[in-house]
Amino acid sequence: MRGEWIAPWGVVEAKRTGLFDALSTASSHHITYHAEYGDGIEPAAGDARRMNLATFLPGVPGPLAIGHPQACQALWDAAVAAGATALRGVEEVTVRPGPSPEVSYVHGGAPETVRCRLVVGADGRGSAVRRQAGMDLLQEPQHHFFAGMLVDNADEWPEDLQTMGTEGDVQFLAFPQGGGRVRLYLSYGMDQKGRFAGDQSEQRFLEAFALHSVPNSRALAEATPAGPCGSIPNQSTLVGSPVAPGIVLLGDAAGYNDPIIGQGLSIALRDVRTVGEALLSTDAWTPGLFAPYVSERAERMRRLSFAARHDAVLHAEFGPEATARKLRFVERQAADPAFGLARAAVMIGPELLPPEVFSDDEWERLMAV
């Protein structure tokens, strides 16, 4: 129910790791424009303020829209072609940390144990590697729920236009994948836990996309479900240190950003590059080798958490007061493009902005508006 969007800075990471060519075999669909609509924003004003996403980073024609299963298969195929041993259907995984770590598992009904120099845990939000290594997951308070669904036959929706905004009691997001396929999301309040659960959840989800503020939203509301409709509570998390003797964590396993700003795949690609470069730099794979990764990742995730919290305040709080706050922000940013600059981290990456953009003083300045 999630995936399908790699930010421009994540595309740069994919190129730097050498993985971009493999991903391109699954998709070469880049999204060119972004338009915000919603309560208090006339459709014509949303059209006039649309952003050209190809202008954020040189050589990147916008975010890469790529199906998550297709991306996984493309990377799997590339790994196998490069000579890796790759197994699916593995069960009962047990990791033993230490200077000479071990991984035991069952594959095809047969137990196996592998002794290795390093275990890389890239096994997602519920990481068994993290849990078995005794690494604590630190969690920010949950802010709202986030529901997603993939749809087909949205042929009348522009393939080069993504949209986001708030109308009524939902935040809506739409990311075209090409060929009439679109990834849709809705944020909604913590008091509506079962809103998109149970029977007819897909239909209720689509009905919420009959949006008055969005031109041609009918193309989305009348699309055909192409995947499950599911919801998760939105929050950012962090592992104090994603490194232990014989173990290093990557991606969501190492702590994840609130998906309201769609940074998960880009974060994972940066993790892969940083850890990969460290491993290639020396034969001494000790925990100290990853100290730069640990510190860089902690600051990166702090900055992205700042950007996500701000976006949640702007777009995932509902009612007249929340709409008025959003419009005050839009007016202030129009007068001062540097105001709220942390939001640019979503596209260009958090490290290209000065640290004061993510400071407590800046947060107070934003909240004062």
- For the stretch 59-103, pLDDT in tens is 999 999 999 999 999 999 999 999 999 999 999 999 999 999 999
Average pLDDT on 323-330 reads 95
Out of 213, 234, 255, pick the residue that ends a domain.
234
> Up-side HSE of residue 102: CA atoms within 13 Å toward CB?
6
Q: What backbone torsions phi and psi does residue 62 show, to the nearest 5 degrees?
A: 115, 175
Note whether residue 253 is domain-resident: no
Q: Is the pLDDT of residue 3 over 80?
A: no
Same domain, 195 and 319: no
Note whether residue 33 is domain-resident: yes
Residue 67 in tokens: 């199906």
Note whether residue 116 is domain-resident: no
Same domain, 205 and 343: no
Note whether residue 207 is domain-resident: yes
The structural domain count of the chain equals 2
Out of 193, 218, 234, pick the residue that ends a domain.
234
Residues making up the chain, counted from first to last: 369
Give the pairing type, strands 144-152 and 161-167. Answer: unpaired
Q: Is the pLDDT of residue 4 over 90?
A: no
Q: Is the pLDDT of residue 131 over 80?
A: yes
- For the stretch 184-198, pLDDT in tens is 999 999 999 889 988
Could you tell me the residue range of the domain that residue 60 belongs to?
Answer: 8-68+144-234
Please state, in angstroms and rounded to a whole number, the distance separating the CA atoms of residues 260 and 144: 10
Q: Is the pLDDT of residue 140 over 80?
A: yes
Q: What pTM does this model have? A: 0.96
Note whether residue 188 is domain-resident: yes
Note whether residue 196 is domain-resident: yes
Question: What local confidence, expressed as pLDDT, does residue 43 receive?
Answer: 95
Out of 180, 202, 234, pick the residue that ends a domain.
234
Same domain, 192 and 50: yes
* Number of helices followed by number of strands (H, E) in the chain: 12, 18
Three-state DSSP state, 123? coil
Mean pLDDT rounded to a whole number for the chain? 95
Please state, in angstroms and rounded to a whole number, the distance separating the CA atoms of residues 248 and 335: 45
Same domain, 156 and 53: yes
- For the stretch 158-184, pLDDT in tens is 999 999 999 999 999 999 999 999 999
According to DSSP, the residues that pair with 232 across neighbouring strands are 146
Please state, in angstroms and rounded to a whole number, the distance separating the CA atoms of residues 178 and 185: 17
- For the stretch 339-367, pLDDT in tens is 999 999 999 999 999 999 999 999 999 99
Note whether residue 30 is domain-resident: yes
Average pLDDT on 19-40 reads 97
Band of pLDDT at residue 47, cut at 50, 70 and 90: very high
Same domain, 170 and 46: yes
Band of pLDDT at residue 1, cut at 50, 70 and 90: low
Residue 32 maps to which CATH number? 3.30.9.30
- For the stretch 243-297, pLDDT in tens is 999 999 999 999 999 999 999 999 999 999 999 999 999 999 999 999 999 999 9
